A = this chain, B = another copy of it.
């Protein structure tokens, strides 16, 4: 009795849990896809600017990446994410 009750709880948790996870991530897939299309359409990465005004931001992000890269490299070689 108590046991079957527990089993039932487990089953509902499984059905609804898995169902919800799929619903949620499916929605996320669609919303993300839509967002990407909208961004490409309305907020494209400036092509000309990339040549001219890029240096500043690029430079910035470049050392950003440099650091990221180096530290990532060192991190991986020393240790993995603290999780």
- Contact, CB under 8 Å: A69 / B63: no
Copy number of this protein in the oligomer? 3
16 other contacts beyond A64-B76, A65-B77, A69-B73, with CB at 8 A cut-off? A60-B77, A63-B73, A63-B74, A63-B76, A65-B72, A65-B73, A65-B75, A65-B76, A66-B70, A67-B67, A67-B74, A69-B69, A69-B72, A70-B70, A71-B71, A72-B72
**27 A-B residue pairs with CB within 8 Å:** A60-B74, A60-B77, A60-B78, A61-B76, A63-B70, A63-B73, A63-B76, A64-B74, A64-B76, A65-B72, A65-B73, A65-B75, A65-B76, A65-B77, A66-B70, A66-B73, A67-B67, A67-B70, A67-B74, A68-B72, A68-B76, A69-B69, A69-B72, A69-B73, A70-B70, A71-B71, A72-B72
